[in-house]
């Protein structure tokens, strides 16, 4: 089987999280060929992979969103003759109102639409004027034009990409990755499936609501864009998987048909962690954050919480393990530590996590948004409890499910709450007996529910189900 994995902003350019999951995933399926269709921000990232590719990765197709800004009109502005049906769907696309994507894909491919020509054409202008009159009568037209154009350019650019050949298309998110996956499945007449590690739409909503670059009167339009892209993925996918039941419920709330939803838990190679012994006493309480430096991981709140912790536990030390995802944010975090003049904060970078955990008492995660974090599972497998924010399925990981009686494996607190995060860390610093009992609970929970081989088996079954369903639909 030839599997096309569609990835956005992660593997193979950054380490950790979905990237680590993806690398282990491909390596666990040597019997299948993989094609990577990856979306990155800038062409400067071309070929700068953080992973050595497995032998079964046969092709890598890189798409850089910054190239969309370099699009130029064809010689002599192209004029397109759209049918009434096509115009109706283009209106829905521009208004972010869930168009018929197969009609748009067909229109775009058969007419060989150039994105710039379309955005400079009469059809686009007429649609936008109508939109301005109906929805934004008090907004300057030029401002609406540039906003809508900036929303459309990436989508139209992606719709112009050549589709790699594969037996099945598998996107690891909705959004732009989901759009490519839906187009790939439609173009090749092959099944398309989606796996969401976090709920992409909810993450984009949070970013837009906080964003200063989006005027308040356009925030809902931007949010509608990502709702539309999620709907595109959900409508065109054969199956849609998530990591835990609450995530599947959210997918259904966002418009995914319930019959498509599947829950497949994450899994880790527990053999890399299960034999790590308890930390030897060294006079310090060592805390690790296995996390990339990114705003969504909210490292700054973690730093503020550690400052508070140091006033009560002077021998605490914080080790931040992981790659830099956002260079500006990473510099801000380092500068914040200097400004606060807090000691014993170490930015370790990418390292051998199992080896490093030998010298760690417990771990911490301060994310604003998560799915089912591998860092927590790895910490559990090593017998280290966690203090996390109550995001994604962290609460379920720490507290357990109805069918297990292992007990609590850590402490969860509200996101962006430095004082409560510090209080959780303080408890684990001062109570070795609690650390030991929680560490044991976490290890037993991982051994039962989060084994990598079990996860791979479930995904292979999902592929077989998708192919079978697609064949049945094709025959009918």
- Banded model confidence at residue 71, pLDDT cuts 50, 70, 90: confident
Locate tokens 């050595």: which residue?
Answer: 52
Output the CA–CA distances (angstroms, integers) from residue 378 to 57, 70, 271, 442, 468, in the order listed.
26, 43, 10, 10, 35
Residues 227 and 276 in one domain: no
Domain carrying residue 12: 2-70+161-263
| Measured distance CA(374)–CA(25) in Å, rounded | 13
- Where on the phi/psi map is residue 178: left (φ > 0), alpha (ψ -120 to 50), or beta? alpha
Supply the DSSP symbol for 451. B
Give the pLDDT confidence score for residue 474 in this predicted structure. 67
Residues 91 and 120 in one domain: yes
- Banded model confidence at residue 75, pLDDT cuts 50, 70, 90: low
- Banded model confidence at residue 85, pLDDT cuts 50, 70, 90: very high
Sheet of strand 316-321: strand arrangement: 345-349, 316-321, 285-290, 362-365, 386-389, 410-413
User: Is the peptide bond between 12 and the residue preceding it cis, with omega within 30 degrees of 0?
Assistant: yes
Higher pLDDT, 326 or 418: 418
pLDDT tens, 382-396? 999 999 999 999 999
Q: Is 476 a member of any domain? A: no
DSSP secondary structure string for all residues of 335-394: HHHHHHT--SEEEEES--HHHHGGG-SEEEE--SS-SS-HHHHHHHHTT--EEEES-TTH
Q: Tokens in use for 206?
A: 């949070």
* Total of domains in the chain: 3
Residues 255 and 284 in one domain: no
Of the candidates 357, 353, 223, 355, which has an alpha carbon nearest to the alpha carbon of residue 287?
357
Q: Which of 97, 124, 149 is the last residue of a domain?
A: 149
Q: Which of 241, 263, 285 is the last residue of a domain?
A: 263
Q: Is 359 a member of any domain? A: yes
Residues 225 and 203 in one domain: yes
pLDDT tens, 154-171? 999 999 999 999 999 999
Higher pLDDT, 341 or 473: 341
Give the pLDDT confidence score for residue 271 in this predicted structure. 95
Give the pLDDT confidence score for residue 345 in this predicted structure. 97
Mean pLDDT score, 336-361: 95
pLDDT cut 70: percent of the chain above it: 98
Q: Is 459 a member of any domain? A: no
Higher pLDDT, 38 or 371: 38
Residue 38 belongs to a domain with what CATH number? Answer: 3.40.50.2000
Residues 417 and 292 in one domain: yes
Element (H, E) at 107: helix 101-110
Residues 66 and 41 in one domain: yes
- Bridge partners of residue 321, in order along the sequence: 290, 349
Element (H, E) at 91: helix 84-95
Q: Is 467 a member of any domain? A: no
Residues 165 and 109 in one domain: no
pLDDT tens, 285-315? 999 999 989 898 999 999 999 999 999 999 9
| Measured distance CA(128)–CA(140) in Å, rounded | 12
Q: Is 225 a member of any domain? A: yes
Residues 297 and 408 in one domain: yes
Whether 82 shows a pLDDT value over 90: the answer reads no
Residues 49 and 111 in one domain: no
Residues 129 and 98 in one domain: yes
Give the pLDDT confidence score for residue 146 in this predicted structure. 92
Q: Is 168 a member of any domain? A: yes
Q: Which of 246, 263, 280 is the last residue of a domain?
A: 263
Q: Is residue 6 within 8 Å of 181, Cβ to Cβ?
A: yes
Residues 309 and 441 in one domain: yes
Give CA 87 to chain center in angstroms.
Answer: 33
Residues 357 and 417 in one domain: yes
Q: Is 30 a member of any domain? A: yes
Whether 77 shows a pLDDT value over 60: the answer reads no
Q: Is 143 a member of any domain? A: yes
Locate tokens 């357990």: which residue?
Answer: 400
Of the candidates 366, 365, 367, 372, which has an alpha carbon nearest to the alpha carbon of residue 246?
372
């Amino acid at each position: 089987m030839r599997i096309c994995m569609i990835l956005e902003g992660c593997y193979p350019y950054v380490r950790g999280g979905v990237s680590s999951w993806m690398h282990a995933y491909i390596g666990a399926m040597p019997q299948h060929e993989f094609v990577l269709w990856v979306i990155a921000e800038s062409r400067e990232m071309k070929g700068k992979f953080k992973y050595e590719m497995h032998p079964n990765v046969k092709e890598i197709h890189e798409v850089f969103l910054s190239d969309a800004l370099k699009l130029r009109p064809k010689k002599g502005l192209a004029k397109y003759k759209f049918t009434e049906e096509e115009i109706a769907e283009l209106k829905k696309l521009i208004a972010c109102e869930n168009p018929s994507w197969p009609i748009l894909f067909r229109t775009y491919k058969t007419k060989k639409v150039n994105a710039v020509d379309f955005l400079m054409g009469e059809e686009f202008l007429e649609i936008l004027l109508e939109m301005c009159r109906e929805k934004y009568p008090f907004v300057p037209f030029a401002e609406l034009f540039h906003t809508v154009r900036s929303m459309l350019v990436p989508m139209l650019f992606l719709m112009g990409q050549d589709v790699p050949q594969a037996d099945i298309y598998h996107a690891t998110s909705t959004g732009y990755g989901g759009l490519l996956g839906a187009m790939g499945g439609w173009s090749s007449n092959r099944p398309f499936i989606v796996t969401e590690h976090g709920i992409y739409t909810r993450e984009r909503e949070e970013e837009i609501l906080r964003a200063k670059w989006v005027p308040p009167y356009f925030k809902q339009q931007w949010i509608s864009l990502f709702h539309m892209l999620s709907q595109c993925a959900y409508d065109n996918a054969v199956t849609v998987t998530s990591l835990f039941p609450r995530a599947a419920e959210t997918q259904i709330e966002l418009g995914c048909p319930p019959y498509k939803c599947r829950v497949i838990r994450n899994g880790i190679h527990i053999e890399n962690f299960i034999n790590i012994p308890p930390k030897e006493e060294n006079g310090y309480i060592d805390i690790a954050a296995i996390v990339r430096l990114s705003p969504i991981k909210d490292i700054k709140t973690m730093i503020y919480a550690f400052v508070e912790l140091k006033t009560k536990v002077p021998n605490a030390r914080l080790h931040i393990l992981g790659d830099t995802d956002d260079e500006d944010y990473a510099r801000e975090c380092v500068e914040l530590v200097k400004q606060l003049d807090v000691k014993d904060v170490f930015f370790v970078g990418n390292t051998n996590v199992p080896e490093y955990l030998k010298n760690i008492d417990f771990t911490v995660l301060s994310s604003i948004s998560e799915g089912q974090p591998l860092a927590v599972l790895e910490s559990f497998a090593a017998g280290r409890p966690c203090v996390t924010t109550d995001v994604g399925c962290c609460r379920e990981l720490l507290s357990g499910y109805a069918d297990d009686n292992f007990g609590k494996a850590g402490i969860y607190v509200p996101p962006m709450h430095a004082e409560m995060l510090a209080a959780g860390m303080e408890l684990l610093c001062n109570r070795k007996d609690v650390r030991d009992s929680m560490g044991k609970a976490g290890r037993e929970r991982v051994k039962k529910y989060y084994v990598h081989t079990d996860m791979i088996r479930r995904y292979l079954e999902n592929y077989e189900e998708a192919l079978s369903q697609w064949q049945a639909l094709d025959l009918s």
